[in-house]
Amino acid sequence: MISGYGGSILRVDLTTRSVKREPVTTELAHDWLGGRAWIAKYMYDELPAGVDPLSPANKVFIATGPLSGTLWPSSAKILWGTKSPLTGGYIDSNMGGMIMAEFKYAGVDMIILEGASAVPVYLFVDDEKVEVRDASGYWGMGSVDTEYALKHDLGEDFQIASIGPAGENLVRFACITHDVGRQAGRGGTAAVLGSKKLKAIAIRGTKPIPVADIEGLQKHTTAIIDYIKKTAFFPTFSKYGTTDIADWCDSVGVLPVDNFQHGQYAKKDRINGKYMREHIYVRDKGCYACPLGCSTYSFSKKYNVYVEGPEYETIGLMGSNLGMDSIEEIAVLNADADNLGVDSISSGSAIAFAMELYQRGILTKDDFGGLEMTWGNVEAARAFLRLIASRQGIGEIFAEGALAAARTIGKGTEKYVVQVKGLDYSAYDTHAAPAMMLAFMTSDIGAQHTRAWAIVQDITMGRDIVEGKSKVVYDLQHLRPLMEVLGVCRFPWLEVKVDWEHYVTALNLVTGQHYTTEELFAFSEKVWNLTRAFWTREVDGFGRAYDQPPARMYEEMPDGPTKGAKVTQDMVDELLDGYYEAYQWDKNGLPTATRLREIGLGYVADDLIQRGRIAP
Amino acid sequence: MKHIVVKPDNCTGCRLCQLTCSAQNFKLNTHKAARIGIVPRFPEGRFEIHLCNQCGVCQSVCPVGAISVSAEGAYIIDGETCIDCGACVDACPEQAIFRSPASLHPYMCNLCGACVDNCAAQALTWEEDL
């Protein structure tokens, strides 16, 4: 028994339907902690180089961290990792909810899915009992509907993660849904499950998580919750959650509008948290052990639909970025995306790209099977999303992702796709936000906001300032992804300023170890180098060319608070030079053999040298 | 006498009350040993809270007189006397008497109040009898 861990890794071969339970060793726990660090390690070590993401040889790694499922506030993260079918590189995507605790109560810290079934199946875990079961009765159902159906059939105390029709149809930005509306959204992990014909995981366990000092943990937790309750921002954040920033984002010109073509949204008052609270609010909803309860469960009377959310990212990408009228339209698009099982960020990007092609006359009503893809046309957007999820008509092209669709369509349309490494931008315009842009450029999964959310530093340090921002991103990339190693949410740290040292204390109370911040940051450096090494190994020609911002950012912003702002190549080069220097990578942004050896990744250096990817 | 009052409309379903209760009373990290129940009802979107309100029905149905009231007003099942017949569990109008591997006998809220401290949503609060 290792404190903080369920104790085992379930290795499931879907081809043969065999299951192996491997022990979590003290070396694995101490040297690699868990969460995304385990995923990075196992992905590099176990995936054959150059594997097709949708082939049986790809694997899915579902990992908890040592704090997942514990009493520590907001210990509600579980990570889904695989070689991304959207980007061809490293992806891990995390979800909140309840399932991470159930993993550990079943004695499972990580599940590794291998091979592929010939027929639809789901994975059933009830403590020691693990079975690959027939899922033909659930195949074709929506993600959320599948969760309700499996709970009905197995028992309400099972926790379910499921895919929808989009995952089944290998849509490359399909996502995994759990607990009504918590998603591992990014990078198409659900398409990999679809390729393995795995519809869902149902899991239940009865074993408490071993904690080295449970009394100390309870005392520490109660003190932190007491602190949180007294913070000035707690009442606002627990009420509005991520939607609270919609107004602020509009006021500083980062809310995306019409595929990032504009810098301010005329209908902002109809899509913000306040309007949402007044029109569609049902109740606040919290993830496991979370005192913040930032999620909002909603019901749109206009569309007669329940949805968890919308969160800010969905408000941005499926709201202002599509010219939608109000939160009601965003709610129904969000509900559609959830049940079809597609990432609302990449879905918003794909629809926005399609609408811009329509705006420019590059694609017409005929191309869209009769849909008028005008900004704000919610019914056209909904129908288009269904075409994507079912790969019908033009949906077949867009199901490959917006960037791949642009490459098929040609005519220079790639410049209208707002992405990095094939992963679509989260909802922050970076015409005048160099640190946030660098965060998107260098995030190890593509243009995702969670690795380094640096928009605040852009405001405080100066919108046009480049100097010092490489270091800002480097530092954030060392702290924030650590949360996803430990299996906790970043919001208590980010939103109500729970000091990072309290997380380290919690980790030590749970594990009985004596980790320090210095050690953990050094560990972060190792994990970041390892994911970079994975990209270097998997993608021919990987390097600086893959860290470039989207073409849109080089266009002058025509309106709004950032009117006239645009990015220059000099800025981009300066940002990347400083960033690569901070990581001690070469000018092309590749890890060096020397640096890899210094940080304990000598075997990775040897591997990359042998493959001719880096210099000896 | 003090009672813990439940406000289900405030509950976010985070289970911190249950985690805290299990830690306080059984020194276990789980929500499944708790003396309080949280039941999500979706898609309609609400959380039921099941917590002893000291109504005393359990005491009246116990065939062996195993249930007594503490000085703080909490109902306590005496493990020595309890024959584990389940009559109290079945009769509890609040569905607030629980069984788990943490105890050989059923149990209910002992008014320790640890859950109240950690319920940031204020779905659990202390209230004094007038």
- For chain A, which residues make up each domain, given as ranges? 8-204, 215-422, 424-610
For chain A, percent of residues with pLDDT exceeding 90: 100
In chain A, whose CA is at the least distance from the CA of B9?
A283
Contact B19 A292 (CB under 8 A): no
A215-422 belongs to CATH 1.10.569.10: yes
A-facing residues of B in 53-92 (CB < 8 A) are: none
Closest residue in B to A288 (Cα) is: B14
Which ranges in A360-433 belong to alpha helices (H)? 378-390, 395-398, 402-409
- Give residues with Cβ within 8 angstroms of A114, minimum separation 6: A11, A12, A13, A14, A15, A56, A59
Per-residue pLDDT, averaged over A405-413, amounts to 98
Cα–chain-centroid distance for residue A254? 20
User: SS3 breakdown of chain A: % helix, strand, coil, rounded to 5?
Assistant: 45, 15, 40
In the predicted structure, residue B79 carries a pLDDT above the cut 80: yes
Contacts of B18 in chain A (CB under 8 A): none
CB spacing of A101 vs B31 below 8 angstroms: yes
Residue ranges per domain, chain B?
2-122
Q: Which residues of A touch B117 (CB under 8 A)?
A: 222, 225-226
Q: Report residue A411 as tokens.
A: 């005519």
CB contact under 8 A, B43 and A234: no
Interatomic CA distance for residues A153 and A317, integer angstroms: 35
At A333, list the tokens.
Answer: 């698009």
Q: Report chain A residues whose CB lies below 8 A from the CB of B15.
A: 98, 288-289
Q: For A8-204, give the CATH class.
A: alpha beta
Q: How far is A467 from chain B (nearest CA, A)?
A: 41
- φ and ψ at A306, to 5 degrees? -90, 145
A227–B contact, CB cutoff 8 A:
no
The torsion region of residue A84 among left (phi > 0), alpha (psi -120 to 50) and beta comes to beta
- Give the per-residue pLDDT at A255: 98
Strand order in the sheet with A198-204: A129-134, A121-126, A198-204, A159-162, A176-178, A182-184
**CATH classification number, A424-610, choose in 1.10.599.10, 3.40.50.300, 3.40.190.10, 3.90.79.10:** 1.10.599.10
Cα A486 to Cα A64, A491, A500: the distances in Å are: 8, 14, 12
Question: Do the chains contact at A221 and B30, CB–CB below 8 Å?
Answer: no
Q: Do A69 and B29 touch (CB under 8 A)?
A: yes
Residue pLDDT, tens place only, A320-364:
999 999 999 999 999 999 999 999 999 999 999 999 999 999 999
Interface of B with A in 21-50 (CB under 8 A): 22-24, 27-33, 39-40, 42-47
Q: What is the mean pLDDT of chain B?
A: 97
Give the contacts of A218 (CB within 8 A, at least 6 positions apart).
A71, B20, B23, B24, B114
Closest CA relative to residue B44, chosen from A148, A288, A102, A344: A148
The residue among A301, A312, A272, A405 whose CA lies nearest residue A351 is: A405
* Mean predicted confidence (pLDDT) in A224-236: 97
CB under 8 Å to B90, separation ≥6 — which residues?
none
Contact A209 B30 (CB under 8 A): yes
Does the structural domain B2-122 have CATH classification 3.10.310.10? no
A234 touching B (Cβ < 8 Å): yes
CA distance B12 to A478: 31
Residue B129 has pLDDT above 90, yes or no: no
CA separation for the pair A184, A331 (Å, rounded):
19
Q: Do A289 and B15 touch (CB under 8 A)?
A: yes
Peptide bond into A558 cis (omega under 30): no
Written in H, E and C, the secondary structure of A246-290 is HHHHHHCCCCCECCCCECCCCCHHHCCHHHHHHHCEEEEECCCCC
Q: How far apart are alpha carbons A50 and A309 in whole angstroms?
A: 37
Provide the 10 A C-beta neighbour count for residue A152: 9
> What are the structure tokens assigned to A459, written together?
């405001």
B26-50 pLDDT, tens digit per residue, is: 999 999 999 999 999 999 999 999 9
* Residue-level length of chain B: 130
B7–chain A Cβ distance below 8 A for any pair: no
Mean pLDDT, range A149-163, rounded to an integer: 98
A281 within 8 A of A296, measured Cβ to Cβ: yes
Nearest CA in chain B to A181: B43
Do the Cβ atoms of B23 and A214 come within 8 Å?
A: yes
Whether B1 has a pLDDT exceeding 90, the answer reads no
Q: Is the CB of A230 inside 8 Å of chain B's CB atoms? A: no
- Which of B7, B11, B18, B19 should be substituted to probe chain A, the one whose Cβ sees the most A Cβ atoms within 10 Å? B19
- Residue B130's pLDDT band, with cuts at 50, 70 and 90, is low
Q: Do A291 and B121 touch (CB under 8 A)?
A: yes
Mean pLDDT across chain A? 97
What type of residue is A66? P
Distance in Å, alpha carbon of A464 to nearest chain B alpha carbon: 40
